[in-house]
Structure 1
Amino acid sequence: MTLRKLLKNWIERYFSDEEAVILLVVLLLGFAAVIWFGRMLAPFFTALVIAFLLQGAVNWLMRLGVPKMLAVMVVFLGFVGILLAIALFLMPLIWNQLVNLVQEAPRMFASGQQLLDDVQERYPHLVTPDQIQNWIDVAGRELTQVGQRALTLSLASLGNLLDLIIYLVLVPILVFFMLKDSDRLVGFMLSLLPQKRSLMTQIWQEMDDQIANYVRGKFIEIFIVGSAAFLTFGYFGLPYTALLAVMVGFSVLIPYIGAAVATLPVAAVAGFHFGLGDQFVYVLIAYGVLQALDGNVLVPILFSEAVNLHPVSIILAVLFFGGIWGFWGIFFAIPLATLIKALVYAWPRGIKHRGDEKALEALAED
């Protein structure tokens, strides 16, 4: 079979149906819009994600008999309250701890250098002076880069202040109208699509609940893990508690890798603060128990209905979408991978199903 015939058979199999072609065009336009206009439309996409999350709470209140407008107002005011609490209390606390950490970094670096010298004296055959000097040089360069980045961030903060104000004002307004006029906006989007959209409907029905459950579950997981880390670190008297707790909370966004990466700053701060004694070991044990409870108890409860993806697929999705869209790409890596999986499995079945329907209709007409 020639290459031309193979290509022709492949096109006829997957793109002989006009709905499949339309779906492909819609997906390509959507990805292109996000890639090329993502930075420009970032407040809109942020509001869309938040409205999608809050719509579940609105629907729950409506099922309890609450009128839609009242349900929207209650959910929206709760969202604004959480946003103000983060902006007025949590963010200043994290920023102050980050500044203190940067200022204390030289002292921590000196303590680390002394620790390496002690290790070299105890184990002269295991660690050589040249190795210690190389480690110190690498750590010094990294520390200098961190300081330069912190200085650059502080100098650029004035320019980013306007962007922050736009987000704080524009995003809540967009979220309110998206919740209030959700039916009208969805109807308008459906009016732009062809009337025969069985393939699109099938894929959307497969993905809607899964994406909603995943995104809401991930926010709940971040909150629970971050809060548990904050209480745990606070109990042991670990410095920079809020900063480390936020880092541990957001580490759940990256499966398999996030927990390992978050372990390094936790161990470093605990080691420099307590030394390599019993208290240091207790902190690491408590952190390990927290990660074990998250992976073996919390994740199965929150994501019991999630589509099972192979770990290689998850890591590839995180690398690919994170490289394209940064934070949001990492956050939505698993839902997007699930969407691609649903497309791969539903596309041939959907086309075959519609072909069978057309054949049955032709037989009925005869």
Structure 2
Amino acid sequence: MSETAADHVEQPGPAEMRDPFVREEMKRAAVWIGLVVAVVAIIYLAQPLLLIFAGIVFAAILDGGTRLLGRVLPIGRGWRLAIITLFGFGVIFGIMTYAGLEIVAQAETLQRVVTAQFNNILARASELGLTQGPVQIQQISQQLMGTLGRLTSAVGTALGAFTSLIMILVIGIFIAIEPRNYERGVAWMLPLRSRDGFYRTSERMGHTLRRLMMGRLVGMAVEGIGTWILLWIGGVPMALLLGMLTGLLAFIPNIGAIVSGVLIVLVGFSVSPEAGLWGIGVYLIVQIVDGYLIVPYVARKTVDLAPALVLGAQLLFGALFGLMGLMLADPIIAMIKTALEQKSREDQGVTPPEP
């Protein structure tokens, strides 16, 4: 006996989206496809994303200075931002104008001194059988650059580095002028139910980044000026250049301190053992002041990052994204940790104090 139309019940096919099973599987597939697309996008768009984040970091520095100036100078935000911006560029231009020629001359001398000292150390290691055959510093530097990771074309040349710097400055200034507009623009792309949480997380992340960068600038100034004065007192040559390099390298935690310390010690011992020992003492004093006074204070006011976590992030980001990733590893990790902590508080129903 044949089945009638009334007895036959149509079942949903694989193209029917109303089927709960199909909808659930499509959601899972969309999540995995989205993750793959995100990973691919990060790989191919790493350099522009890092430039944008560097602009956000620069905007946080300008915004922090503007807020700090507002405590003593009650004028409009635009005027305070202009004062901070002009002051920052004025300081940089003044340093470059005042000490530019001397620094260029000292930089060439520093390169010769460091190269000679490293070659002497490598020759001594070869005599002791610690290395296989004679090794030159140029060979080691090439290997280090190869293992550090690729430097993308945007920062691979002097013109590219200058262009990237200009882009970072422009992005940072534009964001610092009207940060709320960009915050509302990102929130507009989110569902309404998620916007309040986004605003709270964004405020917390902005507060953390401002404090972190202000503390970093204070640490750079203390290390740079302190190193310069102490080395000058001890008669170590190129004290000004070494102080500036120490201050600039202080922007990169852990690795920057190691590099600056090696340079100070090599230059000191190139003069005499006494100068070398004085350089070691200067390095220890500066790092103790920064490590036991400045860094703990900044950590209490922002987010406490374990040194091993920061160093691991620097190695990973440096290998993946080159010099830019190495420099921005610390603020990126701080932002991720702040966002996760804020999410955890909201899931537990804990309302954190206003920053």
TM-score (norm 2): 0.68
Instruction: Give the whole-Å Cα distance in 2 for the aligned partners of 1:72 and 1:80.
Output: 12
Partner of 2:293: 297
Task: Judge conservation of contact 2:227–2:283 (CA < 8 Å) in 1.
Answer: yes
CA contact 2:58–2:169 (8 Å) conserved in 1? no
- Whole-Å separation in 2 of the counterparts to 1:103 and 1:94: 14
* Amino acid of the structure 2 residue aligned with 1:80: F
Secondary structure of the residue aligned to 2:136 is helix
Equivalent residues in 2 for 1:57-136, closer than 5 Å: 57-62=65-70, 64-89=73-98, 93-104=102-113, 108=117, 131-132=127-128
Q: Is the 8 A contact 1:80 1:172 kept in 2?
A: no
Kindly indicate whether residue 66 of structure 2 is the aligned counterpart of residue 51 of structure 1: no
Aligned to 2:242: 244
Paired AA for residue 78 in structure 1: F
2:263 pairs with one of 262, 265, 270: 265
Residue in 1 aligned with 2:232? 234
Change (3 A) 1:186 1:87: farther
Aligned-pair distance for 1:40? 4.3
Asked whether the equivalents of residues 113 and 136 of structure 1 are also in contact (C-alpha less than 8 Å), the reply is: no
Q: For residues 298 and 133 of structure 1, what CA distance do their matches in structure 2 show?
A: 43
1:141 maps to what in 2? 136
Q: After superposition, give the CA deviation of every residue in 1:223-246 in whole Å (9 maximum; x if it has no partner).
A: 220121112222222223344323
- Give SS of 1:303's match: helix
Amino acid at match of 1:236: G
- Matched residues in 2 for 1:205 and 1:330: separation? 25
Partner of 2:8: none
Instruction: Report if the CA contact (8 A) 2:313-2:333 is conserved.
Output: yes
- Quick check: 1:53–1:216 contact (8 Å CA) kept in 2? yes
SS in 2 for 1:269: helix
SS in 2 for 1:193: coil
- Please, what is the CA RMSD of the aligned residues? 4.1
Matched residue of 1:337: which SS?
helix
Q: In 1, distance between residues paired with 2:277 and 2:44?
A: 48
171, 188, 191: which is aligned to 1:191? Answer: 188
Contact preservation (8 Å) 1:69, 1:180: yes
Name the structure where helix makes up a greater proportion of residues: 1
Q: Is residue 113–residue 267 contact of structure 2 (8 Å, CA) maintained in 1? A: no
Deviations 1:258-310 (A, max 9, x none): 43443322222211211x2x343233223222221121122233333232333
Unmatched segments (≥5 aa) in structure 1:
1-17, 117-126, 150-155, 355-366
Pick one of 272, 276, 283 that aligns with 1:280.
Answer: 276
Partner residue in 2 for 1:207: 205
What corresponds to 1:329 in structure 2? Answer: 325
Which one-letter code corresponds to 1:302 in the other structure? V
C-alpha distance in 2 between matches for 1:254 and 1:168: 17
Aligned pair in 2 of structure 1 residues 172, 131: CA closer, same or farther (>3 Å)? Answer: closer
Distance change >3 Å, CA 50–CA 292, structure 1 → 2: same
What amino acid is the match of 1:193? L
Q: TM-score, normalised by structure 1?
A: 0.67
Task: Tell me by how many angstroms 1:146 deviates.
Answer: 5.5
- 1:86 deviation in Å? 4.8
Please give the alpha-carbon distance, in whole angstroms, between the structure 2 residues aligned to 1:343 and 1:199: 10
| Paired residues of 2:303 and 2:334 also in contact (CA < 8 A) | yes
Match of residue 306, structure 1, among 302, 317, 320: 302
Q: Residue type matched to 2:77 in 1? A: K
**Separation (CA, whole Å) in 2 of partners of 1:312 and 1:112:** 29
Provide, for residues 14-59 of structure 1, a one-character-per-residue CA deviation record: whole Å limited to 9, x for no partner: xxxx9xx99xx79x96x87665334346655443321221012223
Deviation at 1:164, TM superposition (A): 5.0
Letter in 2 for 1:263: G
Aligned to 1:177: 174
* Change over 3 Å in CA distance of 1:289–1:319 after alignment to 2: same
